[in-house]
Amino acid sequence: MKKNFSLLIILSIILPFFTGCQKDEAGAAENKNLICVRHIQLDSKEKAEEVMKELKEGKTPFEKIAGKYSKCPSKVNGGRVEPFEKGTKDKKFEEAAFRLKINEISEPVETDLGWEIIERLPLPVPTPTPIPTQTPLPPPVRIRHILVEKKEEADEIIKELKEGKDFTELTLEKSACPSRKKGGDLGMIKYKSNLSGPVKEAAFKLKMNEISEPVKSEFGFHVIQRIEPDMKIEVHESEKIRIRHILVEKEEEAKELLRELKEGHDFSEVSVEKSLCPSKKLGGDLGMVSTGTLSKPLENVAFTLKIDEFSEPVKTEYGWHIMQRISPDLVIKLPPVEIKVSHILVVTEEEANKIEAELKKGGDFNKIAKEKSKCTTKNSGGNLGKIKRGDMAGPFEKAAFSLESGGISGPVHLTDGWHIIKRTE
């Protein structure tokens, strides 16, 4: 299943909380499969190790380091994630988290969303919603909301709503909560539900159709409206397009990759080699996306592209993206991440050229390797076994992975001499 990078990050933090609103609070605390953590999400192993070193120095609290470095929206909350159960998160993230003792911090862990540093926290003590004494509980209310990161954004949304802008349209355009797919509708909320405290408190104070002032919760700022229980919210089917992308850390790198793509380099291969997004395993393919599913900077550009057109580099909180709009029925040929190769190493270009000519005439690669290669692999016909991307020097790897099975490269120059490579798988 193809994954949308931005949507996956948001879903992993917000969705478990809102979908769990009907659970009993005390019961959740007693669940042995329930865990509470905070985390720092990073793009690379190198960056994770650098951040881990800073954590171990102990000069800066975990939550401040998360706020500074983490690529996850939870950084606004010091990296803290709402308590979750087994089977609701990325498998590798979950396994690492449940192995930790309370207050223990993991070493960097690679997951499908990046490199994670995780700290296990004690489960919060449930705080029951105060129940009025000698009075009946308030009846359930139905609300919809728009979730944004900053108060200024919430203030602007309220201004637009007062000017007559449609709530559903604004939700699809701006909300960071998965409920935007339903126009922000959170359904009927009971007084004893597990909905975030500030949101619930505001919801039960609203009159019918009244819109709240910005409400701050651990997830950001909410604009809430109480609506009729039988109100029908129509969310129009938006246009869907198919996008693939490459994510890198720096603008200069993005510009260089864009130049290569325009020169004809294979998008999937560049994505597998260079992209920091987990979608690189799919050649950068994000699948069919509609408005409201990509981060706003990406969406603003993606829907202006024609099929096969590349975007200029686009900056988001995760780095710099190059996008390409592709045909919905395009079959993407994924480049291999591991191949078997043999090689012949000689000292001079002249020797390499002679061997290349001999091979083109039908010479036996294994025999020539045993007779002429200067590498210790000569006794096995130059066999290097399996190599993965990143194992070898750039020119060697580029030549090797460009070969079809059985193909032989031209001479490749490295510091130790000239290589002729054969893909043997």
What is the structure's pLDDT at 132? 57
Q: Are residues 321 and 353 in the same domain?
A: no
* Distance, CA of 268 to chain centre: 17
Q: Are residues 209 and 249 in the same domain?
A: no
Q: Are residues 14 and 86 in the same domain?
A: yes
Convert the pLDDT of each residue in 250-304 to its tens digit.
999 999 999 999 999 999 989 988 899 888 888 999 999 887 677 778 888 999 9
Q: Are residues 114 and 16 in the same domain?
A: yes
Q: Looking at the domain assignment, is residue 400 inside a domain? A: yes
What is the structure's pLDDT at 237? 67
Intervals of the chain under pLDDT 70: 1-32, 73, 126-135, 237, 292
Q: Are residues 146 and 106 in the same domain?
A: no
Q: Looking at the domain assignment, is residue 44 inside a domain? A: yes
Q: Are residues 17 and 116 in the same domain?
A: yes
Q: Are residues 195 and 250 in the same domain?
A: no
Q: Which of 326, 358, 375 is the last residue of a domain?
A: 326
Q: Looking at the domain assignment, is residue 333 inside a domain? A: no
* Distance, CA of 115 to chain centre: 10
Q: Looking at the domain assignment, is residue 128 inside a domain? A: no
Convert the pLDDT of each residue in 19-48 to its tens digit.
333 333 333 334 567 899 999 998 888 899
What is the structure's pLDDT at 409? 93
Could you give the number of structural domains in the chain? Answer: 4
**Is the whole-model pTM more than 0.85?**
no
Q: Are residues 10 and 101 in the same domain?
A: yes
CATH of the domain at 100: 3.10.50.40
What is the structure's pLDDT at 419? 92
Beta strands 80-85 and 185-189, pairing class:
unpaired
CA distance 187 to 268: 42
CA distance 29 to 31: 6
CB 309 within 8 A of CB 326: no
Q: Are residues 90 and 11 in the same domain?
A: yes
Q: Are residues 12 and 106 in the same domain?
A: yes
CB 392 within 8 A of CB 416: no
Q: Which of 171, 198, 227 is the last residue of a domain?
A: 227
What is the structure's pLDDT at 87? 80
What is the structure's pLDDT at 67? 87
Q: Looking at the domain assignment, is residue 91 inside a domain? A: yes
Q: Looking at the domain assignment, is residue 285 inside a domain? A: yes
What is the structure's pLDDT at 153? 93
What is the structure's pLDDT at 356? 93
Q: Looking at the domain assignment, is residue 129 inside a domain? A: no
- Look up the domain containing 294 and give its range: 240-326
What is the structure's pLDDT at 242? 94
